[in-house]
Amino acid sequence: MPFRLSVNTNPFVNRFAEPDDLIAAIVDEIGLGYVQLTHEFINPSWPANVTRRLAQATAESCAARGAKITSLMTGPSGRLNHFGHPDPEVRRHYVGWFKALADIAADIGCPAIGTQYAILTYRDYDSETLRARRLAEALDCWRAVAEHAAAKGLQFLFWEPMSVGREIGHTIESASALQEEIDSKALPLPLLPMIDIDHGDVSSSNPTATDPYAWAKAFAKRSPIIHIKQSSMNKGGHWPFTAERNRDGRIVPEKLLAAIRAGGGSDNELCMEFSFREREPADRSVIAMTRESVEFWRPYVDTGRA
């Protein structure tokens, strides 16, 4: 299978709300058939009858336009402690929340859900004893969600390596070590990394920590989804692949795909994750800049659209 290009719906949050408007914008205006949906569009905290209705509407909109929700994950309002929270009742709440997210995914026909592995507080991360305890507790949470997701017919779960130690997986070495630990525990569903080529610890003395090509190569066989955006040396933002950003951006499609192939990847999903400020002209440029990014990548990947 070829590499696929998808889009994460972060930049569409609160700019769209109704399923048909969202899917129509992505498919008809942006020209893309693969979508990573974020939870703000169908939030597990909403009443179950509402989430079922919106999931059905999303599935119907996708079917009508030949689109596919490839995964479902937490969005910009969901960067929380979740499974790394020190309070066991809060962790228990989020286990239920993610089980409900798996229910939504199953209703849409989406094969995977994910979020950060665990986000720790300063106190818990800075204590070796507490850090180990929190990470073990987080894995117990993931196991409970995996059992439920497997019963719902999902295919895998994913966690996102981040850029600071307490958000987990901030270097290639630490992310790899955690993945090896996860793999050794034999969860009911695979829990896989979803790397972001613009993440990594900028304070590290190891240049590979922020090398997008090193991340891509190292996780090519293990990361079914790879978050991409135009990257700059100062990690200044989730830039789109526009002519302006590409002039001094580090990401070149041929080079990135070569790194993934060198690492053993062949059919990874490249998921564009952008951010646009709530200021003009950026606020009204979301569709145009995302469409330009799709056209930039179209010669190299399957976009799900002719």
pLDDT score for 277: 81
pLDDT score for 205: 87
pLDDT score for 279: 85
pLDDT score for 245: 87
Q: Coil, strand, or helix at residue 272?
A: strand
CB-CB contact of 51 with 42 (8 Å): yes
Cα distances from 269 to residues 2, 58, 228, 241, 278, in angstroms, run 9, 21, 10, 17, 28
pLDDT score for 306: 67
Q: Which of 37-46, 73-82, 130-139, 201-210 has the lowest mean pLDDT?
A: 201-210
Residue 280 is classified by DSSP as T
pLDDT score for 173: 96
Q: Which two tokens stand for residue 25?
A: 């914008």
- Mean pLDDT confidence for 238-259: 91
The confidence band for 282, taking pLDDT boundaries of 50, 70 and 90, is confident
Residue 234 has pLDDT above 60, yes or no: no
pLDDT digits (tens, 9 = 90+) for 98-126: 999 999 999 999 999 999 999 999 999 99
Q: Which long-range contacts (CB under 8 A, 24 or more apart) does 120-124 make?
A: 120/81, 120/84, 120/166, 120/167, 120/168, 121/81, 121/84, 121/86, 121/166, 122/166, 123/86, 124/84, 124/86, 124/166
Instruction: Find the helix or strand (DSSP H, E) in which 258 lies.
Output: helix 253-262
pLDDT score for 40: 97
Amino acid at 95: V
Residue 236 has pLDDT above 70, yes or no: no
Cα distances from 232 to residues 56, 154, 211, 241, 274, in angstroms, run 39, 35, 11, 12, 14
Exposure of 47 in the CB half-sphere (CA atoms within 13 A): 3
CB-CB contact of 226 with 270 (8 Å): yes
* Pairwise CA distance, residues 117 & 179, whole Å: 10
What domains, with CATH codes, occur in the chain? 4-300 (3.20.20.150)
pLDDT score for 1: 62
Residue 231 has pLDDT above 90, yes or no: no
Percent share of the chain, pLDDT over 70: 98
Percent share of the chain, pLDDT over 90: 85
For CA atoms 176, 180, 182, 183, give the dihedral sign.
positive
Task: Supply the Cα-derived Rg of the chain in whole angstroms.
Answer: 18
More confident residue, 213 or 1: 213
Cβ–Cβ contacts within 10 Å for residue 298, how many?
15
pLDDT score for 189: 97
Strands 112-115 and 68-73: parallel
pLDDT score for 233: 60
Residue 240 has pLDDT above 70, yes or no: yes
- Mean pLDDT confidence for 42-69: 98
